[in-house]
Structure 1
């Protein structure tokens, strides 16, 4: 009969998972920049944060269950994901570069109250994107990124295995870290709107997104 683990015994595993999950996810990347941009636009924020958090939880569960290590026996699948992810990131980066070089002339702060934010200038134009394309882009940035599998599935799953019977408590901590980060980033981004209330500020942000996305695409191709 399996002995129940005490709260005191599992708390270190929980906080270890929380800390490692946050450490792996906070670094600037394609997914985080997309969530930040949607948060700044105040567009489908809840849906985007939820998709990212749920996807991360599924990937963490995949790794902790041991399936992540089993996937290493299918090297061609990793190659397919790598090239598909590189092509997608390149395309998204080129679109961001196009927005930076040829802006529409509108401030992209779409929330109606952004115009009254301190420091905001000029008219606010509502330019909304349909939910389906936004969610598909969010899913692609998450599931077509090979680094997500290396960090979340393989590495985090390997560390979790060292916690023995408390590995799912470790996983719960890592999942909580994802929830806190994505919802905090998505809903906290609106407080940056005062500095991003002009087309010029958005051109700079889009230029940063383009550099990061294209750089990640090149790294996926050059560094197997």
Structure 2
């Protein structure tokens, strides 16, 4: 039975109004990543980091899942085989469209205590003085994976990549490891590989098929073709 593993990145949420990171107008052009997306930046100025993620949390809460999110949720429901969605996104739009996902980079709507490791639903606004509900330490941070930190669920993801027959990368630049290496892992296991992106990523020759276009158009067409089966 076919097992599909799908990796999604910021590009799948761009048409929902959420900024991507690496295009010319991306978030990192306005916020240096070393200031807002590293443990060192958080240690230097936790208020700045919280302000950044409070804004992102508010923006994500107002966004709506788009046709690409809904198409992948439909694929999970209607496909006869297994469909595993791994996302680099922290916005929660996949779940709001009805999909089940593995969050390798954490979630905006979750808080983490960096003193004791406790996790809980994040309030809309977080601040450095917020106490952990478990240990009461003023050590609250967003439960997102920053640069220099190890992504979540990597052993589980590796198992899915080893067992998949089809791997798709959607809306991701292919520039950040370990996610950038997923296509090679899947290909080594014999999977067919496809990239769906607005523009081709910087990984020429690694995919068996490249589909270019806006996610809201390209992803539903691709899902329709999979569900229709061989012709």
Higher fraction of helix? 1
TM superposition score normalised by structure 1: 0.31
TM-score computed with the length of structure 2 as normaliser: 0.30
Q: Which has the larger radius of gyration?
A: 1
